[in-house]
Amino acid sequence: MATLHREISLDAPAETVWPAIRDFGQVHARVAPGFLTALEMDKGDRVVTFFNGLVARERLVTADDEDRRLVYAVVEGRASHYNAAVQVLPEGTARSRLVWTIDLLPNELAPAIGGMMDQATGVMKKTLEA
């Protein structure tokens, strides 16, 4: 199983970043606009469309407000297993760190998904700091 890990240092406090991350049905507008071009909620799942036309059905596993940690799984898509966790950690009062980890099968998808994560983190940083 491939594990992908990205961290973003943000010039924004965790108290303002977490509500955007936690808003599962608005990730396309509040976290990664342009990287995600559409989102439709369907029976609690979000069906997201990426900039490259890829579509995935994502299911919320948990949203932990105390630890500012959101976990979701892709339940329909190219991967046979895809579980992701996004956590917002405070760094003082005015900064935070976003930690995003994905466990993925098959391993062969790791380079493509890793490249998409790299693109997404740039959009996320710009959006979450605005």
The pTM (predicted TM-score) of the whole model is 0.93
Structure tokens given for 52: 């490259």
Q: Identity (one letter) of the amino acid at 11? A: D
What is the number of domains present in the chain?
A: 1
**CATH number of the domain within which 114 lies:** 3.30.530.20
pLDDT at res. 104: 96
Would you state the pLDDT for residue 121? Answer: 97
pLDDT in tens, 6-61: 999 999 999 999 999 999 999 999 999 999 999 999 999 999 999 999 999 999 99
Q: Is the pLDDT of residue 128 over 90?
A: yes
The model's pLDDT over 59-98, given as tens digits with 9 standing for 90+, comes to 999 999 999 999 999 998 789 999 999 999 999 999 999 9
109 three-class SS: helix
* DSSP code for 26: G
How far apart CA 127 and CA 106 sit, in angstroms, is 31
Q: Report d(CA 69, CA 63) in Å as an integer.
A: 6
Cis? peptide before 106, omega within 30° of 0: yes
DSSP state of 33: B
Residue range of the domain that includes 60: 2-129
